[in-house]
Homo-oligomer: A and B are copies of this chain.
C-alpha cells in the first residue's frame, strides 16, 4: 500500500491515525460487536459517540453555552437555504460576495426572499477581499453573510467585516478548525466537514440560541434549526459514520495542540509554499498577499500548457488533485489540517526540481508526453505506509 499527497480541495486528506483506527474498528467498535456503520443511532454506544464529538468540538472552539451545535445533512447548499429561512424572518439579508460559494448562498436567498449584495470582489476575479469597514448594509438586514475562506480563489477575510450591529453569518467550511476563532462574534457559523474535519455528508451548524425561531410556518421540518437543536441532532437518523470520524478528528486536533497548535502548523505549511511562490520565476500566487488563505493556495505559471504539464507530472509523482478550479485555472494546493508538513516541503521540492529543468524541455518527456519520469525519480513522493 502506498499513500499519495492528496491536495484535493474537498473531500480531502484525513489524518492517517484516524483512518487506521476507523479500519481497526470496522467490524467491532470497541467491543460492541458491530461496526458504527451498523449501529442504531438510538443506542447508548452511538449516543456516547455523538456526545463526545459535541463536547470535544465545544472544547476546541470554546463555544459558549448559549450556542447550539447541530450536526445536519444535505450539504452546505441546503444550509444556504436553511440559514435564510431561519434567520431572515423578514426575508432580507445582506451578502458579501468573495467567490462562488458566497454567490451560491446569495442565489439561494434570491429564491427565498430579498437578499442584497453589499460588497464584491468579482471585478478582479475574486483575488482579494473587499474593504468591509463601511458597507451599505440595510437597516433591516437580518444578517450579513460571508464565506470566510474561499476554497476556489484562495482568499480569507483578514479581519471580519464591520456589520454595523447586524448578526454575522459565516460559511467556514474550508477553514473550519484550522485556527482559533472567536465564536461570540458570529450569530451563526456553518461548515461542511469534508474539507478539514471528516468525510462528506455532515454539516456542522453553530448558532446562538436566541436566533433559532420557535415556529416557521410552511418550512419543512428538517430545515428548521429548532428540530435538530431540540433533539441533540438525533431527530432522525444522522450520518453516524461521518459524525464518528469527525469525533476522531476532533481528538486528533486536540492532540496537535488544539486550534492554536493547528494554526501554528498551518502558518508554517502555507509559508513553505507562499515563500516559494513569491520567489519563483516560474510560478506565482494569484492572490493578494493581504488576504491569502492558509488552506487553499492557487498558483499559475502563466501558461495553460505548462500548467497542464505540471499537473500531469505532479500526479504521476504522487501529488494528486493539484489541478486548479476552472474559475482560476493553473494549480491549487489545498493544505488542510491533515496535510503533513512534509507534503508541503515535498511539493516545494517538486516545484524547485521543475524550475531547474523547465517542463518545456521536451527531451525529458516520457512516452505519454509528460516530463514526469525525472520528477518521479528524484522525489520519493508516495509514502509507504504498509
Residues in A lying within 8 Å of B, measured CB to CB = 1-4, 6, 8-14, 16, 19-20, 22-24, 26-28, 32-41, 43, 72-78, 80-81, 108, 111-112, 192, 194, 198-202, 217-223, 235-242, 245, 318, 320-321, 382, 385
Contacts and interface: CB of A to CB of B under 8 A. Distances in A.
A4 B200 CA distance: 29
Instruction: Please classify the interface of chain A as helix (H, G, I), strand (E, B), loop, or mixed, using the class held by over half of its residues.
Output: loop
A175 B217 CA distance: 33
Q: How many copies does the complex hold?
A: 2
Contacts of A240: 11, 199-201
Contact of A16 (B27, B108, B220): B27
Contact of A239 (B16, B22, B221, B239): B239
Contacts of A38: 6, 8, 11-14, 19, 199
16 contacts: A3-B34, A9-B40, A13-B34, A14-B37, A19-B37, A33-B320, A33-B382, A72-B74, A73-B201, A73-B239, A74-B222, A78-B220, A78-B222, A108-B220, A112-B220, A200-B239
A81 B38 CA distance: 26
A2 B14 contact: no
Given A6-B34, A8-B43, A10-B237, 15 more contacts: A1-B27, A2-B28, A8-B39, A11-B237, A16-B27, A19-B27, A23-B24, A23-B26, A26-B26, A27-B385, A37-B198, A77-B221, A77-B235, A108-B221, A199-B239
A22 B36 CA distance: 13
A18 to B, nearest CB: 9
A8 B34 CA distance: 11
A105 B39 CA distance: 24
A237 B23 contact: no
5 tightest A-B CB contacts, nearest first? A4-B33, A201-B239, A81-B220, A23-B26, A74-B74
A34 to B, nearest CB: 5
A38 B192 CA distance: 14
A245 B90 CA distance: 43
B76 A236 contact: yes
B221 A111 contact: yes
A3 B28 contact: yes
A180 B33 CA distance: 31
A365 B159 CA distance: 66
Contact of A34 (B4, B41, B81, B198): B4
A23 B21 CA distance: 10
A33 B221 contact: no
A241 B27 contact: no
Contacts of A241: 199-201, 241-242
Contacts of A220: 78, 80-81, 108, 111-112, 223
Contacts of A221: 77, 80-81, 108, 111
Nearest to A33: B4
Given A26-B19, A33-B382, A34-B13, A242 B245 contact: no
Contacts of A192: 237
Contacts of A223: 78, 81, 220
A200 B237 contact: yes
Contact of A201 (B4, B14, B201): B201
